[in-house]
Structure 1
Amino acid sequence: MKALYLDCPSGISGDMLLAGLIDLGLDIVALERLFHQAGMDVDLRTVQDVRCGLAGKRLEVRSSTAQPLRRLPEILELLDGLPLVPDVGRRTRRAFERLAEVEAKVHGVDPSDIHFHEVGAVDTVVDVVGAFWGLHELGINTVHAGPLPWFRGQVRCAHGLLPLPAPAVVELLHGKPVFSTDHAVELITPTGALLVDQLADEFRPGPQGTLLQCGIGLGTMDLPAQPNALRCLLYSPSLSGNEKGLPNAGLERTEEIVQFSTNIDHLTGEELGGCFEALFQAGALDVLFLPGMMKKNRPGGQLQVLCRPEHAAAVQQAVFRQTLTLGVRRQRMERVVLPRRETVAETSLGELPIKQAEIEGRRYERPEFEALQELAQRTGRSVAQLRYLLEPCNAPDQQCAKKTLEVKDGRNEGDERGE
């Protein structure tokens, strides 16, 4: 079981994170080969450097080809050419789509009109792809992060002279813990903020478990009295609960959530389907559409969106923006959740990520659909075949050979989008 803790007292950028993963053992040659296979002119190398007495790795990305200004479709086309496993490809695409939405919001334009001036260059594609690919290669499924530094100053970009943190960074930092500093330089870049937004499952003061390794990713700035460095702490999370390893097994937990609902009869099927991912990116835990007959005998339905209270403002705004509805009903309610964890089952066809929960002393397990898709591609079978071939053991007295990859400590994160 591996987790990553991002210690960010000096901020974070895409190259610092990727350099930290390389310092943890990520194969930079294999990463460079990945881009070459897609026809991208990329030369990667790391430099051993020192910042304020702290040694680490600094990443250099070079390309002999001038980079054009790219819109989101060009970025996505570039990603489609990379030989990525489905989950890495999906998460990478989602990250750039999220960035397009943020840039469009802060500049008051449509996402399709955004030119990725500062982030369209090949080095940022390398940083974002490398981060998701690197976590997959290192077997890291959980990412935690510490509080993020707030800084001031100005930065000159394609839009002119803007205050720091840059507008896109401020938008990406919504709902995340920050602390004040006296630094007047860009400690958190848009790419760094994007990766924290998309990777961090939880913010906490520090890692909890057994420390395995520390990777140091260095930036290029000389900060007063502290190194411009990101510490990537690889650790094995500590387990709690009974001997089966389930956190607080048998103890249901009650938490407060916010539900938004609105009637929809004016969107096409494509437009309605497109709302879902945008709502999830805004912080929704679950999105549901209940079909029915609306006024004037028109087919339509009710859109229901669940989120945590701290994400309510962003999710409410996303509902209005994505649906153009004229009104939203909002109510606070409680939900009861079971403790759960994610494990990997050792099967005759290879490893298979599964979810595990316990109800009244009986253990229930089920594989994730994305995991079945990936295993199906590796083995040449269909998902339907795998469901019959790989029967999880759902009884407490049966023994399954598993190794734990991730413990959610009873939180309802990531793929837990359900009531």
Structure 2
Amino acid sequence: MVLVIDSQIAGISGDMMLSSLVHIGANKSKIIDGAYSAQDFLPGSKIKKISFGNVYKHGIHATRLTLKLDEVHHERKGTEIAGCIAKTARKIGLSQRAQEFAENTIQTLIGAEAKVHGISKNSVHFHEASSIDTVIDIIGCAIALDDLKCFDQEIVATPVAVGSGTVTFSHGTVSNPAGAILEIFKKSKILVQGSSITDELTTPTGASILVNLADRCSEFYPQMKISSIGYGAGQKDFDGISNVLKIVRGDAFDRLKSDRVGILETNLDDVSGELLAHSIDKIMSAGAKDVTVIPAVTKKGRPSHVMSVICDPSHVDRITDLIFSETGTLGVRIRFSDRITVPRKLLTLKIMIRGKEFKVRCKIREQKQFKVEYDDIKTVSDRLNLPFKDAEGMIKTQVGRQLK
């Protein structure tokens, strides 16, 4: 199965995402019960009414969240909102993956605010996001995605419309998109695009939800047999567009998927092994998908190396600059190529080895084929003073049992 989150026209907000999941069939009662449970962990916030109703947005039949609140706080620490989400997720019994999604989403939002204001995460105070509706959006989406079993599917995002003009909030008026939106998308796989709508189309909560869900971003829908479509309505009305988020669910037409990558190559003379190792680490940290260095012999019999880097097309300029600065090379060859890949998921699992608990990340292909991340094996090996191959064997045994 594959789920497409199409926000290329009207952007995305937390309530639009939640409403679209309800429209596609998520259990409304579970979501509403979860929202009421959150009140126990956020003093000063009371839900007077929560419901999902039918609306028409420029001729499109959609679902919209209606929320009426009684709140006495208009500013809260980000850690308070995060604590409420974590406690609610545990209380209502969300799956591990749904809990991780909810907690990662609010941490993405907090991290963006901290970066924009130049403060620590513990010092972040929310204004617009201080309401319990932020909790409802995130917890509600986690419940809905769990209910629809979307965490087991490939999730594809289209480029996101962010609008244009200016936006006014607690800190004043700034150009749109605001700093928090830019920080959220900065290191993600998601592409953004402006539009003629001079308003905020994508909210920080919606952006945080999207970057923690999407496996990849594509300008085109994948090959799929459509099974259901959901439309989640926003609260605003715009001339010329339907303010709805569209999600499309269906069966992938092919188990393989295609994308486009940039390939950067350069010949390196007179470089040490230490410089190569350092350059590889820096380039991978900058977002490269892979780096290969091959020994070679070039003109006049010089021993050299050929460095080849695979990256997203959007990262080509940044990584090219890094290759120049780190290696001292005088030229980089650039080309773009289509590639076919087998879909895989990155799953975090809890395991117990010799009485100690660890979290390990696994790349999983077709459920039974998996590869454990090297860094996590090394952590287990170091903490338990085990040979690397022994730690790897123990981890694989436990992971294999959980995936059966």
User: Which TM-score applies when normalising by structure 2?
Assistant: 0.64
1:365 partner letter: K
- Which one of the candidate residues 216, 236, 241 is aligned to 1:226? 241
1:12 partner letter: I
Alignment of 1:7-406 (within 5 A): 7-38=7-38, 39=40, 41-42=46-47, 43-67=49-73, 69-81=75-87, 82-83=89-90, 84-140=94-150, 141-174=153-186, 176-200=190-214, 201-239=216-254, 256=263, 310-311=314-315, 339-342=341-344, 355-356=364-365, 365-366=368-369
Per the TM alignment, residue 146 of structure 1 is displaced from its structure 2 partner at its CA by 1.9
Q: Residue 125 of structure 2: SS of its match in structure 1?
A: coil
Are the equivalent residues in 2 in contact too, given 1:144–1:204 (CA < 8 A)?
no
Change (3 A) 1:37 1:153: same
2:368 partner letter: E
Per the TM alignment, residue 341 of structure 1 is displaced from its structure 2 partner at its CA by 3.7
Query: What is the rounded CA distance, in whole Å, between the counterparts of 1:114 and 1:18 in structure 2?
Result: 25
- Post-superposition CA distance 1:346-384 (Å, at most 9, x none): xxxxxxx99337xxxxxx9346889xxxxxxxxxxxx99
Query: What is the rounded CA distance, in whole Å, between the counterparts of 1:312 and 1:100 in structure 2?
Result: 29
Q: Residue 96 of structure 1: SS of its match in structure 2?
A: helix
Q: Residue 199 of structure 1: SS of its match in structure 2?
A: coil
2:148 partner letter: L
Change (3 A) 1:229 1:77: same
Per the TM alignment, residue 21 of structure 1 is displaced from its structure 2 partner at its CA by 0.5
Q: Residue 139 of structure 2: SS of its match in structure 1?
A: helix
Query: What is the rounded CA distance, in whole Å, between the counterparts of 2:288 and 2:126 in structure 1?
Result: 26
Per the TM alignment, residue 256 of structure 1 is displaced from its structure 2 partner at its CA by 4.5
Per the TM alignment, residue 246 of structure 1 is displaced from its structure 2 partner at its CA by 5.9
Q: Residue 368 of structure 2: SS of its match in structure 1?
A: strand
Change (3 A) 1:17 1:314: farther
Are the equivalent residues in 2 in contact too, given 1:101–1:111 (CA < 8 A)?
yes
Aligned residue in 2 for 1:411: none
Are the equivalent residues in 1 in contact too, given 2:262–2:316 (CA < 8 A)?
no
- Post-superposition CA distance 1:102-157 (Å, at most 9, x none): 11222222222111111121111111222233222212222212222242222221
Q: Residue 131 of structure 1: SS of its match in structure 2?
A: helix
Q: Residue 47 of structure 1: SS of its match in structure 2?
A: strand
Query: What is the rounded CA distance, in whole Å, between the counterparts of 1:51 and 1:254 in structure 2?
Result: 38
Are the equivalent residues in 1 in contact too, given 2:190–2:217 (CA < 8 A)?
no
1:132 partner letter: A
Query: What is the rounded CA distance, in whole Å, between the counterparts of 2:264 and 2:130 in structure 1?
Result: 37
Are the equivalent residues in 2 in contact too, given 1:151–1:164 (CA < 8 A)?
yes
Per the TM alignment, residue 262 of structure 1 is displaced from its structure 2 partner at its CA by 5.7
Q: Greater helix percent: which structure?
A: 2
RMSD: 4.3
1:340 partner letter: V
Aligned residue in 2 for 1:379: none
1:88 partner letter: A
Change (3 A) 1:73 1:48: same
Aligned residue in 2 for 1:272: none
Aligned residue in 2 for 1:6: 6
1:10 partner letter: A
Query: What is the rounded CA distance, in whole Å, between the counterparts of 1:388 and 1:91 in structure 2?
Result: 23
Query: What is the rounded CA distance, in whole Å, between the counterparts of 1:136 and 1:260 in structure 2?
Result: 44
Q: Which has the larger radius of gyration?
A: 2
Q: Identify the range of structure 1 (185-194 vs 62-71) with the bigger mean alpha-carbon deviation.
A: 62-71
1:71 partner letter: K
Query: What is the rounded CA distance, in whole Å, between the counterparts of 1:52 and 1:391 in structure 2?
Result: 46
Are the equivalent residues in 2 in contact too, given 1:5–1:207 (CA < 8 A)?
no
User: Which TM-score applies when normalising by structure 1?
Assistant: 0.62
Q: Structure 1: which 5+ residue stretches go unaligned?
A: 240-244, 264-278, 287-305, 317-326, 344-352, 358-363, 371-382, 393-419
